Amino acid sequence: MNYINYLSNTIIPMVILLIIICAMKEKVKVFDTFLDGAKEGMKIVISLFPTLIGLFVAIGALRSSGIINFLVNIISPITTFLGIPKEIMPLAFLRPISGSASIAIGTDIMNQYGVDSNIGMMVSTIMGSTETTLYTIAIYTSVVNIKKTRGILIAALIGDIIGMLISVIICRIML
């Protein structure tokens, strides 16, 4: 275990050093390139900020309107039988639709229950094991001109459901 801790503490500085060495070999101005990247990153953050605020407000409105809770209550007998906490179900509904909305709802759940809680771990695992299915299918199929996406959609949504179920099972076993 100490080897893993040592490796995890040294890998980032080693990668940075490797980048600097390769850049110096190629005669690239490392610091100027870094500053240009940081400036571009700040522009992206500033451009995304209104979207994130809008999503937080929209998700708050959805939650306060009761639509998500209504859907959660409809399927709660099934999720209770399967041992899935109903607190993670809003994320399960939104994850296949929107990555930004699922990040917002995941953040909200973690703020409410804590990142180290069982529910927080499940949320993190679900976020890592599922995809924004509808967005991904729309982008990839439009690039290669696929018109019939019903089979792709069904398979992808089944994959998301399995990813969510396995995430819950793994977190129950690990914690």
Residues 89 and 166 in one domain: yes
Which pLDDT does position 139 carry in this prediction?
Answer: 72
| 59 assigned to some structural domain | no
92 contacts: CB under 8 Å, gap ≥ 6: 126, 164
Residue 164: enclosing H or E segment and its boundaries? helix 150-174
pLDDT of residue 113 exceeding 90, the answer is: yes
Query: Per-residue DSSP letters for 26-66?
Result: TT--HHHHHHHHHHHHHHHHHHHHHHHHHHHHHHHHHHHHT
Residues 40 and 86 in one domain: no
The DSSP code for 88 is: G
Residues 98 and 41 in one domain: no
Residues 40 and 74 in one domain: no
Q: CA-to-CA distance for 4 and 25, rounded, in angstroms? A: 31
Residues 37 and 80 in one domain: no
| 54 assigned to some structural domain | no
Which pLDDT does position 55 carry in this prediction?
Answer: 66
Q: Kindly report, residue by residue over 64-102, the tens digit of the pLDDT.
A: 788 888 988 999 999 989 889 989 998 998 898 878 788
Q: Whole-model pTM?
A: 0.64
| 57 assigned to some structural domain | no
Total structural domains within the chain:
2
Residues 80 and 164 in one domain: yes
